[in-house]
Amino acid sequence: MSVTINDYLSAIFNPALRKVIANPLSIGSISNPDERLQLAAVRCDSNALSIIKEPSEKAKKIAILNDPYKIRFIQDPSPYLQMLAVLKKPDSIKLIDNPTERVQLAAIINNPSNITFIKNPTEEMLFHAIQRQPSLIAKYDHPSEKIQLAAILAKADMILDIKEPTEHACLVAVESMFNIRIFPSNENLTRLKNIVQFASGCKTDRFECDNYLRDEVLKLAIN
């Protein structure tokens, strides 16, 4: 985004505007610049936003449209500005101190890995992120069964990356992995969970892990 023709014409009779167009960062030396000067400065160089003491909402908007990462220069950005930045650059969420829940969801839906920038994600956020990128399940110590199932239904072998899988999650995962059915008795479910957790512990040796898991799980399969 560049300076408008009207700005160039006005600058003929406006020394301050002429100065800002020639050097956008010079706006820092102007006391209480009006909105027109602010807009001209950020149109030329979005970095100018960082040296304007009280930028107008329109100046903030133009700076973000030029470079969404400039939201880091805005104290307490409005939900609108937050969303504007995140829709253009989803990872700009990491530069927003208190993003709204809607903005956080937008960042995650655009790129699930952005959930790593969110301090206390809600169950809904985790679900959207892990459903789209199942490997993220490994980053969380105590995911709920709903979140475990979201990962497993997307990629069954993610069960090996879940630190404390539920018995039901283990059942759904192995039945999908090996295309079998297991009678869900308490004894079978307990044994199955132990098998999965043991296999998870040896997953660095993928061949050994797969063989162990398959052999033990097939013993429980309904013929």
Q: What is the pLDDT of residues 94-141, one digit of tens each?
A: 999 999 999 999 999 999 999 999 989 999 999 999 999 999 999 998
Secondary structure (DSSP) of 140-171: -SS--HHHHHHHHHH-GGGGGG-SS--HHHHH
Same domain for 184 and 155: yes
pLDDT at 207: 77
110-122: b (≥16 Cβ within 10 Å) or e: ebbbbbebbeebe
- Token digits of residue 190: 């307990």
- Residue of 189 and 204 predicted with greater confidence: 189
Collapsed DSSP state (helix, strand, coil) of residue 182: strand
Cα–Cα distance measured from residue 25 to residue 159, given in angstroms and rounded to the nearest whole number: 54
Q: Do 11 and 77 have their domain in common?
A: no
Q: Which two tokens stand for residue 114?
A: 């952005």
Q: Number of C-alpha atoms within 13 angstroms, CB side, residue 146?
A: 8
Q: 93 is in which domain, residue-wise?
A: 72-117
What distance in Å separates the CA atoms of residue 144 and residue 33, rounded to the nearest whole number? 53
User: pLDDT digit string (tens) for 16-68?
Assistant: 788 888 899 999 999 899 999 999 999 999 999 999 999 999 999 999 999 99
What per-residue confidence (pLDDT) applies to 206? 72
- 81 plus 109 within the same structural domain: yes
Q: Residue 163: which pLDDT band, with cuts at 50, 70 and 90? A: confident
How far is residue 129's CA from residue 138's CA, in Å, rounded to a whole number? 12
Model pLDDT for residues 7-16, shown as the tens digit of each residue: 666 767 688 7
154, 79: one domain? no
Separation of alpha carbons 183 and 160, rounded Å: 21
pLDDT at site 223: 56
**Total tally of structural domains belonging to the chain:** 3
Q: State mean pLDDT over 194-203.
A: 86
Same domain, 165 and 80: no
- Verify that 89 and 187 share a domain, yes or no: no
Dihedral of the CA atoms 81, 82, 85, 86 (nearest 10)? -150
- Is residue 198 located within the same domain as residue 148? yes
pLDDT band at 204 (very low <50, low <70, confident <90, very high): low
Q: Are residues 166 and 195 in the same domain?
A: yes
The yes-or-no verdict on residue 4 having pLDDT over 90 is no
Instruction: Indicate the helix (H) or strand (E) that contains 122.
Output: none
Same domain, 180 and 111: no
What distance in Å separates the CA atoms of residue 103 and residue 71, rounded to the nearest whole number? 13
What pLDDT does residue 27 have? 93
Reported pTM = 0.80
User: Same domain for 137 and 199?
Assistant: yes
Same domain for 10 and 87, yes or no, is no
Instruction: Please give the average per-residue pLDDT across 145-150, as a whole number.
Output: 97
Tokens 């100065």 sit on residue: 19
pLDDT band of 80, cuts 50, 70, 90: very high
Same domain, 76 and 148: no
**pLDDT tens per residue across span 168-185:** 999 999 999 999 999 999
